[in-house]
Structure 1
Amino acid sequence: MSYLGEKVKNTICFGFYPHHLDIENERFSVKTLPDHKYAVEHVLSDSNVINDWIYPGKAFEKNFINGVKKELPYSTRVFGLPKTHVLTLHDGASHEELDFVVWCISFFTGMRLTTTEAGFVDATPIKPGKLVDFVLNRCTLEDAIELVLSYVKNARGQPRALKRVAAIIHSLFLSQYPHSLAFERFQYLYMALDTCYKLLSVKEPIDSSKPNSHAQRIEWMCTKFNIPVPTWAKVDSPKKASQISVVRNDAMHEALFFDEPLGFAVYGGNVRTGTQSSTLLQMQALACRLIIAALGRPEISYVSTPVDTRGIYPLRLI
C-alpha cells in the first residue's frame, strides 16, 4: 500500500476521514490514499457504529499456553481506524509539527483524526462536524491549514505551544464522549479552558493585568477577544468567585460535584433546571472560539459570537 509503512521525510499518514481530500500548493499537500473507498466502506459498515459514532469492540485475552482467545465482559478502550490520507509539508517539519497539523485538521473538520496506530479512546465520530459548532464558510480546509502552518512558524522557540493547542483540542473532543458523566465532561472542558488560559497568558507582558486566580481567568479571556462573558464566568467583585470556579474548586479539591460525590449529580444539581446541560455546551463553544483566536484569527466574527446557543456558526477565516 502506498505511503503506509513507509518513513518519508516531512510526510505522515492519518485518518479516519471519510471524504476525499486532495490539496497541493507550495507549502503542503494532502492526498487521499488509494484504498480510501475500501477503508470507508469497512468503517461505515462496522457493527459497532451507532449514531455516527464508532465504538471499540470487545476486549480479548489470549492464553499463550493453549492459544485460546477468551472474550472479556468489557470493551477495549483504545483502538485504531484505517489511515485514509497522507500529509506532506514541503518546507521541512519535525514529526511533532506534522502531528500538530493533523490535530488542527481534526479541529477544523470537527472529527478526531490521528497519525497513530491506536489514537482513539472509547468512541469517535465517523462523520465531520460532530465536535465543533462551526462550518467553514467562504473558505476551505486549505485556508485552515495555511493558518495552522503560519502558527507553527510563529510558535517555533515556544516549546509547549503546539502541545498545548493539541491538548485543548483533545480535551474538548474527549468531553463529548456520548456516555460521559456530567462531572467527567466538566473536568475535560475545564482543563481545555484552563489550558487556553495558559497558552494565552504566557504571551502577556510580565506587568500585564492577567489574573492568577481561577475565578477571573475565563472572564479575562472573553474580555480579551470581545466574547460576551457567559453568566457562569462573570465575577461581580474582586473578592467573589465566578460560578464556574466554585464548581471547579469543589470537584478538584473535595471530589464533590454540586455537593454530591462524583457521578451522583448532573451539572447544576439534581433539581432540574434549564442550565444543567447548557453550561457544558457553552464551555465547548467557548473552547472553540479561543482555539481560533489563539491560532491567529481573533478578529473574525465567529470568535466574538455568543456561546449561549445551540446554533452552528459560519467560520470565515479569510
Structure 2
Amino acid sequence: MEFGFLNENNSYTTKFIEIRPLNDINKKIKFLKDNFYIKNGWIYPPIKTDIKGNSTRPVVWYGLPSSHKLVLKISNNKDLQDFIPIFFGFLKGLHMFRDGWGHYYKTPINEGKLIRFYCTKEEICIILDKVINLYKNDYDIFKNYYAAIHWFLFGQSYSHVFEKFDAQYRVLDCCYKISTELNHINRARYHAERIEKLCTYYDIFLPNWAKSKDGKSTLSELRNNLIHEAKYAGEPVGLNSDDKQLWFNLKLINERILLSILGVKSKMFSNKLVRSRYALDWIK
C-alpha cells in the first residue's frame, strides 16, 4: 500500500512494518511544483477552471501523489493501513494519507510544520511499534488514539483561529478519555481540571492559563464561551483573534500528551513551551 507525500528517501524497518521510498519522488516533486500553489512549506488546493479555461474556485478535495510504500509484516489490516501513514506523518510533522485519500484544505509539504519535536530514525521505528502494540492490546482505545492524532493534524489546516482552538480542545478531551481508560489517571471533578490531571500524570509543563481555580481556568472559559455562547476571546465568533495564541500553545501540550500516552518520555516535556523545534532525545 502506497502513501504520501514525504520528500525523503529513507527507509524504516520495525518489528511489525517496513516503510520504503518509491523511486520517482523527484518526478513527483516537480509535478507538485508545476501544478500546485506552494508557499512557506504549505501546499494549497488547486483552482478549478470552467470550460473556457477561466479560473473559478478552489477544488473541495484533492489528493497528493504517493511517495512511500507501507508493508505490514503482520496480516494485512485495513485499520493499520489507514492509520500508519497518518501516524508516521505525525512523527514527521505532516498530514499524510494512504493512496486514494486526500485533503480539503491546505496541508504542509515541508517536514515539521505541524509539530515542534523531531525524532531520530531509531526513535521513529520504536514509536511506530508502540502504537501498533496499542492497536493489538485494546482496539477501542486505539480508535480513540487514531481520532486524536487525525484531528490534531487536520485541525491545523483550518484558516480561522477559533476553528484551530476547537480542534485542539477536542484532541485534549480525547487524550483525557484515553488516559483514564489506559492508565487510570485520577478523574477530574471539573472540565478545567482535565488538562491538569494529564500534565501531572505525564510530567508535562502546565502553563498558568491552564491552571484552574474554583473549577475554572482561562483555557476552560475560552472553551465554554465558544461551545455554549458562540463567543471567542470575548467577542462573537469570527470577530476577534486569540492574541495569546492559546490554540497554538494548547497544540504544543497536546503533542507532548499524545507521545506520553505511548510511553515516550523527554526532558523537554517538563520544560516551558517553546516555538522552536527541539530534539525528542528519548533514546540515549
Normalising by structure 2, we get a TM-score of: 0.90
Post-superposition Cα deviations, 1:251-302, rounded to whole Å, max 9, x if no partner, equal 11121113322100112xxxxxxxx1432221111011011101221x3323
Post-superposition Cα deviations, 1:185-213, rounded to whole Å, max 9, x if no partner, equal 111111111111111112244xx631153
SS at match of 2:156: coil
C-alpha contact 2:91 2:124 (8 A) present in aligned 1: yes
1:93: how far off? 4.1
Distance 1:303 1:98 in 2: 30
C-alpha contact 2:12 2:125 (8 A) present in aligned 1: no
C-alpha contact 1:78 1:118 (8 A) present in aligned 2: no
Distance 1:230 1:147 in 2: 27
| 2:176 matches 1:197 | yes
Rg larger in structure: 1
Where does structure 2 lack aligned partners over 5 or more consecutive residues?
none
Q: Which residue of 2 aligns with 1:65?
A: none
C-alpha contact 2:191 2:215 (8 A) present in aligned 1: no
Out of 169, 173, 182, the position equivalent to 2:161 is: 182
State percent identity of aligned pairs: 27
Q: Which residue of 1 aligns with 2:83?
A: 100
Q: Which residue of 1 aligns with 2:113?
A: 130
Q: CA distance change for structure 1 residues 241 and 25 in 2, over 3 Å: closer, same or farther?
A: closer
Distance 1:41 1:70 in 2: 23
The one-letter amino acid of 1:247's match is L
Post-superposition Cα deviations, 1:117-140, rounded to whole Å, max 9, x if no partner, equal 24212111111111101122xx31
The answer to which of 221-230 and 155-164 deviates more is 155-164
C-alpha contact 2:256 2:269 (8 A) present in aligned 1: yes
Distance 2:65 2:258 in 1: 27
Distance 1:278 1:313 in 2: 20
| 2:267 matches 1:301 | yes
| 2:39 matches 1:74 | no
Where does structure 1 lack aligned partners over 5 or more consecutive residues?
1-11, 62-67, 268-275
The one-letter amino acid of 1:173's match is L
Q: Which consecutive aligned stretches of 4+ in structure 1 deviate over 6 angstroms post-superposition? A: none
C-alpha contact 2:47 2:57 (8 A) present in aligned 1: yes
Q: Which residue of 1 aligns with 2:196?
A: 219
Distance 1:280 1:153 in 2: 31
Distance 2:186 2:192 in 1: 14
The one-letter amino acid of 1:286's match is I
| 2:235 matches 1:256 | no
Q: Which residue of 1 aligns with 2:276?
A: 311
RMSD: 2.2
SS at match of 1:49: strand
Out of 244, 252, 256, the position equivalent to 1:285 is: 252
Q: CA distance change for structure 1 residues 213 and 25 in 2, over 3 Å: closer, same or farther?
A: closer
Distance 1:243 1:56 in 2: 35
The answer to which of 22-31 and 216-225 deviates more is 22-31
| 2:29 matches 1:40 | yes
Q: Which residue of 2 aligns with 1:246?
A: 221
Q: Which residue of 1 aligns with 2:74?
A: 91
The answer to which of 123-132 and 153-162 deviates more is 153-162
C-alpha contact 1:172 1:192 (8 A) present in aligned 2: yes
